[in-house]
Amino acid sequence: MKVTVAGSSGFCFGVKTAVAAAQEAVSNPPSGKPLVMLGDIVHNSMVVESLKKGGFTVADSASEVPEGAFVLVRAHGITPSEMEILRSRGCEIKDCTCPFVSKIHKIVRENALEGRNIIVTGGKGHPEVVGICGETYGTNVSCAVISSPEELETLDFPLSSAILVSQTTFSSNVFKEICKKAQNQIANKYVFDTICITTESRQKEAESLSGISDSMLVIGSSHSSNTTKLLDICKGRCARTFLVNSAEEAGRLIAEGKILPDDKVGITAGASTPEAIILEVVQKMNEDENKKTENQPLDSDFANALDSLAQVRRGAIVKGTITSADSDFVYVDVHDKSEGRIARREFESDPDFDLDKAVAEHAEVTVKVRSIKNSDQGKEIILSKNDVEAEKGRAEIEEAFNNKTPVEVKITRTVKDGLIGTYKGIDVYIHRTQIKHGEVKDLDPYIGQTMEIRITKFDTEKGRLRISGSHRVIASEERAKKSAEVWDNIEKGKRYIGTVRSLVDFGAFIDIGGVDGLVHVSELSWSRNAKPSDVLKVGDQVEVYVKEFDKDTKKISLGYKKLEDDPYYNIEERMPLGCIVKGTVVRLTKFGAFVQLEPDLDALCHVSQISSERLDKPEDALHVGQEVQAQVTEIDAEKRRISISIKAVAPIDPVKSEEEAVEAPAEEAAEAPAEGNEEA
């Protein structure tokens, strides 16, 4: 008996991801939260029962899920309304919707909102189809599910008004027939071939293998859409095609003579079939040979079958063992006749991976097969470790996009008008306006930083992935929460530590926790001539207090300058009447001189208090910049006024010219009585 296993057999990427997430939840259950599957995670009773034993229960609808539960959404996806119910119940949602299915949801949602009717090729009532049709709820369009070209004629709306999509596991041949019949009625741009590429490959391989096999086994559940499609395809090429769900069922076929000892047996499996079951079936097919060669290596046919199960084909995700490394490549045993190789730079770019240790310990690594080439020297298998991380990252980013949950990215470079952040090898574009509130002029300082963002765009159309994110959205939400807290607790006199957001001619706007308040320029400094930029700069942390506020207009007036900083604070104690002070002449007027005693503290010396002589103007005795001594004669703190007397300490008389000095004595002599007359 020669056994050949189709390369595309067993769990697809979406099912594998969902099962892995469920097993992780069983191993590390969320504290205090019941584990719930929204529908059987996979059409395989063995897997479902195993997860039930691990603590999971199955809910048929979102309304049955208990509040606060950990809910695993299977690869088939659910309707938006069910997702909303889960969120309203405070559930922790692990959305394992297959990326191919999510893409269909997006296509249907966008076109339904534009008023186009929807045609889905697939199985009526299938969970995936129900979820897809759910995207039309709340719109005025129709959603029809068909499974044959003839059903196009039964629709109650014109084909020209519709788009055509397909369930991911639908028959590719039937879909092509439906497209052919709808040709010239539905525009090409409204026909979306959304059949999963893995499904299409699986069907083609099954068709080819069944054509050269004497008997054909399709492993899987009769409830699985993709499994029943495989069964139909194989029956069309091989008369002795059987559906089995276990090794025991395969053994009965041998015992009943339905599969003969000399048969060429082909094996394929649906996307819901675990690899363990496939292995058991292969072993059962070779059971007689194994008995004959007990304790001996497996025969070559069986070894080939096991090799096939490794699925070492282009695009496959496989596990291997690191065997060695050189300056360019790391070599991995992927259970094929030839070793695969990974570019060494993939490991060098991962600072957490110890390559020397991995080689020494022959560590296991999960890789993706990039290409396979056959040559005279043998098979060349090119692998990638980063591609696996990228696929995981892509799925996680799409989940974050759908659930509106934040992710952390590392900023790696700048581009025109924005930044590029990476998440597990996936690039995310962040426009400069989405970095923070306010203008960002210099992008370079962000390189190397970690930034929390919300995924705002996840576009896979035209075969190119476009992802955008925003930190500003998160900051806005946080600011809104803080703002509500401020307005709930604000009161006059309350003090806050705030951040200077901006400076204007009339003052400074201070963020006191989600709310901006204004410190008027008159409240910034005791100096009358100070500008906002003289006192503060953007980004400063300052202490302010509430002077006035209006909840209706959302305006807050803040105070900043402190009483103890007032030049007139405690002035009577610092400069009591009669004390002697020193100062500098800073300004001269007709009525006197202003003398600066301290920064921002000027005193007036009246013109009559400068000199022992009568002055016409202060300039006759003083000049700006001159240092003087004076006595404090009056203080009025309320009117912010100080009077001083220079004359009371040391009068400053005007300096006379030489001519004035010579003439003055002659005039005085003429006025005085003669010396002789005085004696007489």
Q: What is residue 585's three-state secondary structure?
A: strand
| Residue 90: pLDDT band with limits 50, 70, 90 | very high
CA 334, CA 353: separation in Å to the nearest integer? Answer: 20
Residue type, 153: E
**537 vs 305, residue with greater confidence:** 537
606 found inside a domain: yes
| Statement: residue 89 has pLDDT above 60 | yes
Quick one: pLDDT at residue 530? 76
- Give yes or no: residues 190 and 204 share one domain: no
Token pair belonging to 511: 């963020």
Quick one: pLDDT at residue 141? 92
| Residue 570: pLDDT band with limits 50, 70, 90 | confident
601 found inside a domain: yes
CA 509, CA 496: separation in Å to the nearest integer? Answer: 13
CATH number where 371 lies: 2.40.50.140
Residues 48-66 pLDDT 10s: 888 888 899 999 889 999 9
- Give yes or no: residues 554 and 648 share one domain: no
| Residue 297: pLDDT band with limits 50, 70, 90 | very low
| Statement: residue 573 has pLDDT above 50 | yes
Mean pLDDT of 249-261: 87
> For the chain, what is the mean pLDDT?
84
| Statement: residue 187 has pLDDT above 70 | yes
| Statement: residue 70 has pLDDT above 70 | yes
Residue 185 CB neighbours (<10 A)? 13
Total structural domains within the chain: 6
Q: Which of 281, 309, 337 is the last residue of a domain?
A: 309
- Give yes or no: residues 278 and 224 share one domain: yes
| Residue 571: pLDDT band with limits 50, 70, 90 | confident
- Give yes or no: residues 594 and 649 share one domain: yes
Cite the active site residues: 128
| Residue 594: pLDDT band with limits 50, 70, 90 | very high
- Give yes or no: residues 410 and 377 share one domain: no
415 found inside a domain: yes
**500 vs 302, residue with greater confidence:** 500
Quick one: pLDDT at residue 518? 92
CA 595, CA 633: separation in Å to the nearest integer? Answer: 14
Quick one: pLDDT at residue 177? 92
| Residue 160: pLDDT band with limits 50, 70, 90 | very high
79 found inside a domain: no
| Statement: residue 463 has pLDDT above 90 | no
CA 394, CA 404: separation in Å to the nearest integer? Answer: 15
The tokens 């009769």 sit on which residue? Answer: 222
Q: What percent of the chain is predicted at pLDDT more than 90?
A: 36
| Residue 375: pLDDT band with limits 50, 70, 90 | low
Range(s) of the domain holding residue 129: 101-195
- Give yes or no: residues 546 and 556 share one domain: yes
- Give yes or no: residues 368 and 417 share one domain: no
- Give yes or no: residues 230 and 291 share one domain: yes
| Statement: residue 669 has pLDDT above 60 | no
145 found inside a domain: yes
Distances (CA, A) of 247 to 250, 268, 609: 5, 14, 118
- Give yes or no: residues 107 and 181 share one domain: yes
CA 10, CA 319: separation in Å to the nearest integer? Answer: 15
Q: Which of 258, 289, 309 is the last residue of a domain?
A: 309
Quick one: pLDDT at residue 658? 57
Residue 409: name the closest of 444, 455, 451, 448 by CA. Answer: 451
What percentage of the chain's residues is helix, strand, coil (to nearest 5)? 35, 30, 35
Quick one: pLDDT at residue 378? 63
φ, ψ for residue 178 (rounded to 5)?
-65, -40
Mean pLDDT of 95-113: 91
- Give yes or no: residues 600 and 640 share one domain: yes
Mean pLDDT of 129-137: 93
267 found inside a domain: yes
**230 vs 561, residue with greater confidence:** 230
| Statement: residue 287 has pLDDT above 70 | no
Residue type, 203: Q
CATH number where 298 lies: 3.40.1010.20
| Statement: residue 665 has pLDDT above 60 | no
Quick one: pLDDT at residue 471? 93
389 found inside a domain: no
Question: CA geometry: angle at 559 spanning 553 and 564, to 5°?
Answer: 170
- Give yes or no: residues 130 and 191 share one domain: yes
276 found inside a domain: yes
CA 222, CA 237: separation in Å to the nearest integer? Answer: 19
- Give yes or no: residues 579 and 650 share one domain: yes
Q: Which of 195, 226, 247 is the last residue of a domain?
A: 195
| Statement: residue 633 has pLDDT above 90 | yes
